[in-house]
Amino acid sequence: MPGYEVELEEVNKDVVCGICLLTIKYAASGCSGNNHIYCHDCLLQLVETKGDNAVCPECRDKLNISPVGVMTQIINKLKVKCSFEGCSWKGDLIDLVKEEGQGHQFSCDYQLVPCVFHDCQQEVLKKDLKDHQDNCKNRNIECEHCNTTIQFHEKFLHYGSCGQVIVDCSFKGCNERIAKQYLDSHKQANTNKHLDLMMNNFHESENEKDELKKEITELKKKINKLEYTLMIEIKPKLENHDQNKNNKSNLSVTNSPNAKSM
């Protein structure tokens, strides 16, 4: 484990580990004479790779690791800012990075976290996660008809195939409402009833036909009457009217100085 990746309020190169270039975590000296300090783990890493040949990276003295508790305490108290964008948290370094999930960085509301629902690829700010998951189109819901768990976005698709959705029997006048999966057996069990209904419906439409016929006959009568009125009463009057008009225009044509009539 290398050092801490934190944002110090004040830049301080004395606390930067020369091996990992991060803020020193668990300070330890790498040499007995010069007290060059690094992360404890970074020094252990050197021993692991170089064995007995490991040296202090700065003075090249034979590596000699000894923890520097005072330095660790100073570093723990350094003032840091939370690095998640939008977060205004500030405090001691140790309160930010404390392990076992206790540091602020593990609970910060401004970190991106993935939505828990299968198929949802979204990452949202931790503070918005609940809101997102309450409205996520991939959230799990229960079909209100069959209680199966489905995803919200497939709700209407599921309704199309869900056998427990309540539907109306398609025979006019049956008025039965049943789960779709029982519709076929309902139809089988009610053949007689449905046939009776069909007959009734048929008679009904026969009656409707008769009504229509009557109406048409009435309309025909009305039309005939209108035609009669037109021919007998209105047409002669119109013709008369035209005649008068013609006479008048003839008059005006013949009404010249030479005409003797009138």
- Catalog residues that contact Zn ion under the rule CB under 5 A: 2-3, 17, 19-20, 31, 34, 36, 39, 42, 56, 58-59, 82, 84, 87, 89, 108, 115, 117, 120, 122, 136, 143, 145-146, 162, 169, 171, 174, 176
Q: Shortest distance, CB of residue 176 to Zn ion, whole angstroms?
A: 4
| Shortest spacing between CB 92 and Zn ion, in angstroms | 14
What is the nearest approach in angstroms of Zn ion to the Cβ of residue 187? Answer: 7
Minimal distance, residue 17 CB to Zn ion, in Å: 3
Q: Given the complex with Zn ion, which of 142 and 242 has the nearer CB atom?
A: 142
> Measured between alpha carbons, how far is 145 from 231 in angstroms, rounded to an integer?
70
Number of Cβ atoms within 10 Å of the Cβ of 184: 9
Closest CB to Zn ion among 100 and 134? 134
Burial code (b: 16+ CB inside 10 Å, e: under 16) for 68-100 equals beebbebbbebebebebeebebeeebbbbbeee
* Tokens, residue 63: 């590596």
Which C-beta is closer to Zn ion: that of 170 or that of 254?
170
Nearest distance from C-beta of residue 205 to Zn ion, angstroms: 19
Question: How many whole angstroms separate alpha carbon 215 and alpha carbon 176?
Answer: 35
User: CB-wise, 201 or 255, nearer to Zn ion?
Assistant: 201
Token representation of residue 44: 């252990």
Three-state secondary-structure class, residue 62:
strand
Query: Which C-beta is closer to Zn ion: that of 188 or that of 252?
Result: 188
Helix (H) or strand (E) holding 187: helix 183-189
